[in-house]
Amino acid sequence: MQKVLTKCLAYLAVAFILFGNSCSIDEGGPTGPTGSKSVTEGIEARVDSAVWKAFNYSAFLCGKQLTILGLDSTNGKLTITLNDTVAGKTYDLNTVSAHWATYQPNNSNDIYTTFSHPLAGGMVFLSLFNKDSLIVSGSFIFYAYNPRTKRTITISEGDFANISYTKETYPTSGIRAYIDGKLWNATTSQGTINDDGITLQGTNAGGEQLFFKICNRLKDTYALNSQSCHMVRYIVSSTDTVPFFSNSSPYVDGKFVISDISTDSVAQGSFILSVYRPNDKKTVQITQGIFSGIKLR
C-alpha cells in the first residue's frame, strides 16, 4: 500500500505540474498504462494516446549515470538518463537540468528530447535503487520535442519496475560515449581553461575524436545548438577527417553538463548531442557521454 501511495503521489505531482490534472486508476499511474494491474517488471507508458510496452529493456550504471532503455516493436524507443541515483527523489527533465529523456519512433531517424525546446520536459521519480541486487524502479512523465518535425510528443503514465542494471566501467580519467549506439572510449584526453572558456578533446587509437568548446568556465548545463556559442566537433577516423558539428544545422542539438571543477581544475560531467555534416547530409547521435578526471591546463 505504501509503495502504491508513493507512486500515486509522484504521478500526481508530475501530472499537476505538466498537465494540470490529477492521478487516478483510470489514467494509469501506479496501475500501469495497459490496465488494472501494476507493472511488476519491465517498462510501460503511453506515447500520445498509444500504449507503449517494452519487449526489450535494459539499464546501465556508469559512475552515477543511470541509463534506462526500452524498445516497443511497434511504437519506438524510450531512453531515460539520470546523472544521480537517490531513491525517493524526483528528477526534473528540462533544458537546464543534468538529466534527460528521449523518444525515437520506429522507422525514423528523428529523436524527440526533453531539452530541445523550453516547453519540453518532465520528471522522473526514482522509487528504488538497490545497490546490492542491482535493481531499479520508478515512474516518469514528459514532453519530448523534435526541432526538424517541430512536433511535441507526450509520454505519460510511465513505469519502470524491477529493472536489472549492469555496471559499466567508469572513466576515472578520460571521456567515453556511445556514438550511433557503439561504445567509444578515448585513449588520450586533454583539456584547457582560459578567459575564453573550456575545451576538452578525446581521441581513440583509430583517430575517432570528440572536441568540445564551452564559452564559460563555470559548473552549469550548456545548450548545444545552432544559436549557441558552445560547440562540439566529431571526426570519424584518421581516414575520414571531414568533421561533424553540433552547430551546423538547426535540426541538431544537445546539452553539455559540467558537474564539477575541483580547486586544482579537474573537470567531470556528462553530455548528449547530435552532430551534422553538411557535405553528405549525415547526422550522428552521441549519447551516454561522460568525462571525468580531466586536468584543465
pLDDT digits (tens, 9 = 90+) for 102-128: 999 998 889 999 999 998 999 999 999
User: pLDDT at position 7, please?
Assistant: 43
**Alpha carbon 135 to chain centroid distance?**
19
Helix (H, G, I), strand (E, B) or coil at 15: helix
Task: Write out the three cell numbers for 50.
Answer: 498509444
Closest CA relative to residue 142, chosen from 123, 125, 127, 157: 123
Type of residue at 101: A
- The residue-averaged pLDDT of 179-196 equals 96
Q: Residue holding cell 503514465?
A: 157
Does 25 score more than 70 pLDDT? Answer: no
- The residue-averaged pLDDT of 266-292 equals 96
pTM of the full predicted structure? 0.86
Closest CA relative to residue 69, chosen from 104, 33, 40, 121: 104
Helix (H, G, I), strand (E, B) or coil at 273: strand
pLDDT in tens, 224-277: 999 999 999 999 999 999 999 999 999 999 999 999 999 999 999 999 999 999
How many other C-beta atoms are found inside a 10 Å radius of the C-beta of residue 130? 13
pLDDT in tens, 52-66: 999 999 999 999 999
User: pLDDT at position 35, please?
Assistant: 47
Judge contact between 37 and 58, C-beta under 8 A.
Answer: no
Q: Residue holding cell 572558456?
A: 197
Task: Write out the three cell numbers for 193.
Answer: 581553461
Domain boundaries, the chain: 2-167, 174-295
Mean pLDDT of all residues belonging to the chain: 89
User: pLDDT at position 39, please?
Assistant: 74
pLDDT in tens, 26-59: 333 444 554 445 678 899 999 998 999 999 999 9
Closest CA relative to residue 46, chosen from 2, 13, 11, 16: 11
User: pLDDT at position 40, please?
Assistant: 84
Does 14 score more than 60 pLDDT? Answer: no
User: pLDDT at position 33, please?
Assistant: 52
User: pLDDT at position 57, please?
Assistant: 97
Contacts of 217 (CB under 8 A, 6+ apart): 193, 197, 198, 261
pLDDT in tens, 146-184: 999 999 999 999 999 999 999 999 998 999 999 999 999
